């Protein structure tokens, strides 16, 4: 009974917050476009966010998200601004203030400061149309007034969900406009599972002297010695022009040895698999893993764009799995 009671409360909270997001969706207008354009076109100044209480926590999160998707920004504590931190805000900056009521006492000094400096663009994200923040903002993003989840309509829940959603919408809009893709995203997320997923083939491939090249005219007995020494279970076959034209595995050598007996009578080009599967160096490693699994192979040749016969590396399935990519 107790578990069912809490389940019902949870569902009621979620329904209430979904309803607030639906109202937010319908309220998006040209001011949202103005805000995004202003942020994107801020070339000489900084993007600064601030808020008080729960709105301050949301402002911190939005600042972090913007920075991670190509729009450097930072958060200033509204309370500290009255004690010297206003100096962090200067001409040509875009200042984003977030407040449900728009009347938080800690924001008044920031609003007055930005109004005195006409070169600061103030974007207000607020729910009260008659508030100090709304009236004094250059760009006004008015959030719909909604019912908070929970008894008494007093706990910031639906209102903060809308603040978070509008912040994410701003961040993703700037990201798409800047064409901020996987390669750029990877620069800011080098560690953890996310960083692992964004690693490219080039990040993990073996290159230089570690690539197990062999000439197509080498006799198979020598090929056996080389493949044993390289310990990759595969050799990349090249012609005299250093062009890749085949691949040979330890399994192939073993089967030929059992069948023919004398490896001195065969050359690599007589045994190799022609036209080996190759992948571009800029492809995500997770896609290379998918290709290996679909083809049931353990290695791929690596090439630069449109130059499949010029192998610059080799990537083995172990290289990918050891990087925690799945």
- Residues linked to residue 273 through DSSP beta bridges, in sequence order: 247
* Structural domains in the chain, sorted by start: 2-180 (3.40.50.10490), 201-321 (3.10.580.10)
- CA–CA dist 281, 288 (Å, integer): 10
Residue 259, classified by CB atoms within 10 Å of its CB into exposed (0-12), middle (13-18) or buried (19+), is: exposed
Strand ranges (DSSP E) for 9-72?
47-51
Q: Which helix (H) or strand (E) element contains residue 42?
A: none
Residues 6+ apart with CB under 8 A from 276: 236, 237, 244, 246, 247, 301
- CA–CA dist 150, 173 (Å, integer): 32
Q: How far is CA 308 from the centre of its chain?
A: 29
Residue 170, classified by CB atoms within 10 Å of its CB into exposed (0-12), middle (13-18) or buried (19+), is: buried
Residue 143: helix, strand or coil by DSSP? Answer: coil
pLDDT in tens, the chain (326 residues): 556 888 899 999 999 999 999 999 999 999 999 999 999 999 999 999 999 999 999 999 999 999 988 899 999 998 888 788 888 899 999 999 999 999 998 999 999 999 998 899 999 999 999 999 999 999 999 999 999 998 988 999 999 999 999 999 999 999 999 988 776 776 766 666 667 778 889 999 999 999 999 999 998 888 888 888 888 889 999 999 999 999 998 888 888 888 877 777 788 888 898 989 999 998 988 899 999 999 988 899 999 887 888 999 999 998 888 877 76
Which residue do the tokens 């006492």 mark? 105
Contact yes or no for 216/246 (Cβ under 8 A): yes
- CA–CA dist 22, 25 (Å, integer): 5
Contact yes or no for 65/168 (Cβ under 8 A): yes
Contact yes or no for 39/170 (Cβ under 8 A): yes
């Amino acid at each position: 009974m107790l578990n069912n009671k809490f389940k019902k409360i949870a569902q009621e909270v979620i329904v209430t917050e979904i309803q607030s997001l639906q109202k937010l969706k319908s309220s998006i207008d040209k001011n949202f476009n103005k805000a995004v354009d202003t942020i994107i076109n801020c070339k000489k100044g900084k993007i600064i966010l601030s808020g008080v209480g729960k709105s301050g926590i949301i402002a911190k999160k939005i600042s972090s998200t913007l920075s991670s998707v190509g729009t450097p920004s930072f958060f200033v504590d509204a309370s500290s601004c009255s004690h010297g931190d206003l100096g962090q805000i200067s001409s040509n900056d875009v200042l984003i203030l977030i407040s449900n009521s728009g009347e938080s006492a800690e924001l008044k000094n920031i609003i007055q400061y930005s109004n005195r400096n006409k070169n600061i663009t103030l974007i207000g994200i607020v729910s009260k149309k008659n508030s100090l923040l709304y009236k004094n903002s250059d760009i006004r993003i008015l959030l719909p007034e909604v019912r908070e989840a929970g008894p008494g309509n007093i706990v910031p829940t639906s209102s903060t969900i809308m603040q978070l959603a509008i912040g994410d919408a701003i961040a993703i809009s700037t990201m798409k406009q800047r064409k901020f893709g996987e390669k750029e995203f990877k620069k800011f997320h080098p560690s953890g599972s996310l960083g692992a997923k964004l690693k490219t083939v080039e990040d993990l491939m073996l290159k230089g002297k570690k690539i197990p090249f062999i000439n197509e005219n080498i006799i198979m007995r020598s090929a056996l010695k080389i493949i044993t020494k390289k310990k990759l279970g595969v050799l990349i076959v090249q012609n005299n022009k250093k062009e890749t034209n085949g691949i040979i595995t330890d399994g192939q050598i073993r089967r030929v040895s059992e069948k023919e007996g004398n490896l001195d009578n065969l050359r690599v080009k007589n045994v190799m698999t022609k036209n080996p599967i190759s992948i571009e160096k800029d492809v995500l490693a997770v896609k290379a893993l998918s290709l290996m699994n679909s083809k049931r192979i353990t290695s791929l040749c690596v090439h630069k764009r449109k130059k499949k016969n010029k192998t610059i590396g080799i990537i083995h399935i172990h290289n990918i799995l050891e990087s925690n990519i799945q």
